[in-house]
Amino acid sequence: MKDAIRTNDTLLKLYENYSFSRHRGAIRAGAARGDLKIHLGCGPQILPGWINVDLYVDGDVLTSKLPDGLKRFPSNSTKFIYASHVVEHIGYPGEATTFAEECHRILVPGGVVRVIVPGIQKIIEAYVRDDDAFFEIQATLHPEWCTTKLEHLMYALQQDGHHKYGYDFETMSRLFEKAGYSKVVESDCNTSEFEELRMDYRATKDNHGNYLSLFVDAIK
């Protein structure tokens, strides 16, 4: 049923209204305390005590399309936002700017959005240095038709068209700084300054023992 809803903007809007109404009590309670926690693009990883948001997962999940779905949350209501492998799926610069600005609006002062995206710079650097071992690991993650380093590089960038943009820390930090964040920090897997955000569950290492993703905490 949700597959049909996702392809029809009118039905999707109606379903989003219904989904937000089901979670209204939890959102209002968290907003009143100023400690709402929002998990964006949750997939099957449902976090207890968080508002879990996803467009493609059934169950007790708030159905919403990003970044516009963020506009439904109250201003200065949220302590933590967690978005693992989400931001690369929205357009840049328009939708990404909206994402950064809306997260800033709904966060309380000192609140944090943790964003994890593919580490594009790491993949490009491996391609430039002709790192065979690096791309042997990529081969375990990519379709069989990826056989050359360039094919692996392009697949990592595009993911069959599902990825709309790629980030390095310079680009990501500039995005959040322009949106008004007081501090943007490059982190690593499960090493956030904030204990509640040390829960990274989508992480793969390269042949040098480094994580392939880019981990960023942006603080309001």
Average pLDDT score over residue span 138-165: 90
Q: Report the b/e string of 141-151 with b at 16+ CB within 10 A.
A: ebeeebeebeb
Q: How confident is the model at residue 137 (pLDDT cuts 50, 70, 90)?
A: confident
Phi/psi at 64 (nearest 5 deg)? -160, 145
pLDDT tens-place string over residues 201-214 = 877 777 777 888 99
Q: CA separation (Å) from 197 to 33, 52, 87, 194, 200?
A: 19, 14, 17, 6, 8
Q: Which residue did the predictor score with more confidence, 217 or 44?
A: 217
pLDDT at 177 over 70: yes
Segment 56-110, tens digit of pLDDT: 877 789 999 999 999 999 999 999 999 999 999 999 999 999 999 999 999 999 9
In-domain check, residue 137: no
Instruction: Please check whether residue 204 is in contact with residue 212, taking contact to mean a CB–CB distance below 8 angstroms.
Output: yes
On whether residue 147 sits in a domain, the answer given is no
Query: Does a structural domain hold residue 132?
Result: no
What whole-number percentage of the chain has pLDDT above 90?
75
pLDDT at 175: 99
What percent of the chain lies above the pLDDT cut of 70? Answer: 97
Beta bridge partners of 52: 39
In a domain, 74, yes or no: yes
DSSP 125: H
For 69, the domain range is 2-119+161-219
DSSP 13: H
The answer as to whether 93 is a domain residue is yes
What's the pLDDT tens digit per position in 16-70?
999 999 999 999 999 999 999 999 999 889 999 999 999 887 778 999 999 999 9
- Kindly state the tokens that stand for 12: 């999707």
Assign 167 a pLDDT band (cuts: 50, 70, 90). Answer: very high
Q: Does residue 27 lie in a domain region?
A: yes
Tally of domains in the chain: 1
Are 140 and 197 within 8 A, CB to CB? Answer: no
Whether 65 maps to a domain, the answer reads: yes
Residue 100 lies in a domain: yes
Contact 17, 72 (CB under 8 A): no
C-alpha distances (whole Å) from 169 to each of 29, 193, 213, 216 are 35, 17, 11, 8
Q: What share of the chain is helix, strand, coil (3-state, %, to 5)?
A: 40, 20, 40
Look at residue 31 in the predicted model and tell me its pLDDT. 94
The runs of H, that is alpha helices, within 75-131 are 94-106, 120-128
pTM for the model stands at 0.92
Domain with 68 in it: what CATH number?
Answer: 3.40.50.150
